[in-house]
Structure 1
Amino acid sequence: MNAVDIILVNAKEIRRRSVKVWEAIPENKLHWKPDSEAMSALEMVRHVLESEYYYHLAIVNRGSLTEFHSPFENRPFRSVQDELAFADSYHQEFLNMIGGFSEEELTTIQIDRSDVGYVRSLGDMLMRIGYHESVHTGQLLQYLRSMDANRPRVWD
């Protein structure tokens, strides 16, 4: 297994575990949030999915986007399944993009996000994307605890 394969396995495994948590959000708690400044549970799911779309475009463009038109914008918040179904083709494109890189490109391609404070190698950027999703999955586990809802086993 090479580095690209490992990054793909990691991305798929992170998403598998995220979906377990997302699907555990009770339907009557989708709009629950711990305080008025926080995202609701469903908003956080969308944030993760939309961020992956943004990061995909940033990688394709090798840096931050000056104009970003999100296909997620102005969509009504319905359900976790609706969010997943809508994002599925974008997620598959993201995974296909990763699979198309060579091991060498993981270190030679630079993603310039100096407008937000960093320039990183492609490999580093791909791992940061996974970290972003993982952090929000952890936040949603805490949301579930605060809601007094059942929490799925993510360490299977």
Structure 2
Amino acid sequence: MTAKEAILLNFKETRRRSINLWKGIPIDFLHWKPDHEAMSCIEMVRHVLESEHIYHVIIQNRGELGDFKSPWDNLPYTTVEQELDFAQFFSDKFMQEIKDYSEDDLSTIEIIRPTKNQRKILGDYLNRIVFHEAVHMGQLLSYLRTLGIERPLIWD
């Protein structure tokens, strides 16, 4: 397995498990959050999906967002399915771009974010994106545990 294949598999499997978890959130609890400063369940789902697009733009611009305007701005929160449907176009574009990179690109393209004091190679940056999603998966699992709701099996 090549590095690119491993990265794509990690994206695919993490998203598959996230979707399994997200679809296990009872609709009555989509807007629940553990405290007033936390994200609600549905806000966290959107955060993960929107962040993937933001990271894609950062990669395209090699580190900068430019005059980015999020397609999610002013979009009402509804259901997990609608969040997934809206994000699919952007996710597909991102996955295709990753497929189009060469193995050499993964170790030579630099993502430089001076405002964050970051300088990462593309392969590393892509893995950090997947890690971001995995962290939020853990947070949502904790939310469901706190609520006493049965948690979907993500370790299949």
TM-score, normalised relative to structure 1? 0.98
Aligned to 1:85: 85
Q: How does 1:34-45 map to 2 (within 5 A)?
A: 34-45=34-45
2:7: which partner in 1?
7
Corresponding residue for 2:141? 141
SS of alignment partner, residue 38 of structure 2: coil
Identify the residue that residue 69 of structure 1 maps to in structure 2: 69
Q: Partners in 1 of 2:141 and 2:150 — Cα distance? A: 9
How many residues are aligned here? 156
1:26 aligns with 2:49: no
- The aligned counterpart of 2:116 is 116
Which structure 1 residue ranges, 5 or more long, are not aligned?
none
Distance, in Å, in 2 between the alignment partners of 1:10 and 1:50 is 18
The CA RMSD over aligned residues, in Å, is 0.7
* TM-score (norm. length: structure 2): 0.98
Are the counterparts in 2 of residues 53 and 91 from structure 1 also a CA contact under 8 Å? Answer: yes
* Deviant stretches of 4+, over 2 Å: none
| Aligned-pair identity (%) | 52
> Unaligned regions of 5+ residues in structure 2, if any?
none
Q: Give the drift of 1:64.
A: 2.2
Matched, 1:59 2:59: yes
- Summarize deviations over 1:7-40 as a string: whole Å, max 9, x none: 0011000000000110011100000000000000
On the 8 A contact 1:64/1:115 being kept in 2, the answer is: no
* Whole-angstrom CA distance in 2 between matches of 1:146 and 1:68: 36
